[in-house]
Amino acid sequence: MKEQNYELALEKYDKAIEIYDTNAVYWCNRAAAKIYLGKYMSAADDCNMAIALDPKYVRARERLASVYRHLEMPEEQEKVLRGEQDSSLEFTLLEIRATLPSCFPPLKV
């Protein structure tokens, strides 16, 4: 993304996630491309997925806070930065994941 070709970066991360969808870094980096493209709600979804995959991944929380800043949601931004984010989303994502075919590698939680 150093060349600032965010559409291309988005395509590349889409493909990477198709191959290895349990990599939190891929989700977080795709969120970054979406933030630059102004796709904030979709970026928030990607950040939340990255956090669900790796709850200790600080960069995903920072990016999620950035999304909330762009959406002018300072209360949510502060919650994320303080680590007070609603953890129910993590369980929802894990429940969805459990219904997927067994051809996917297990989540590391």
Read off the pLDDT of each residue in 21-49 and give the average, rounded to a whole number.
95
Q: Give dist(CA 85, CA 6) in Å, integer.
A: 28
Task: Give pTM, 2 decimals.
Answer: 0.74
| pLDDT range class, residue 97, cuts 50, 70, 90 | low
Read off the pLDDT of each residue in 67-76 and give the average, rounded to a whole number.
91
Is pLDDT of 105 > 70?
Answer: no
* Runs of H (alpha helix) within the chain: 6-19, 24-36, 40-53, 58-70, 74-82, 88-98
Size of the chain in residues: 109
Q: Encoding tokens for residue 52? A: 């669900």
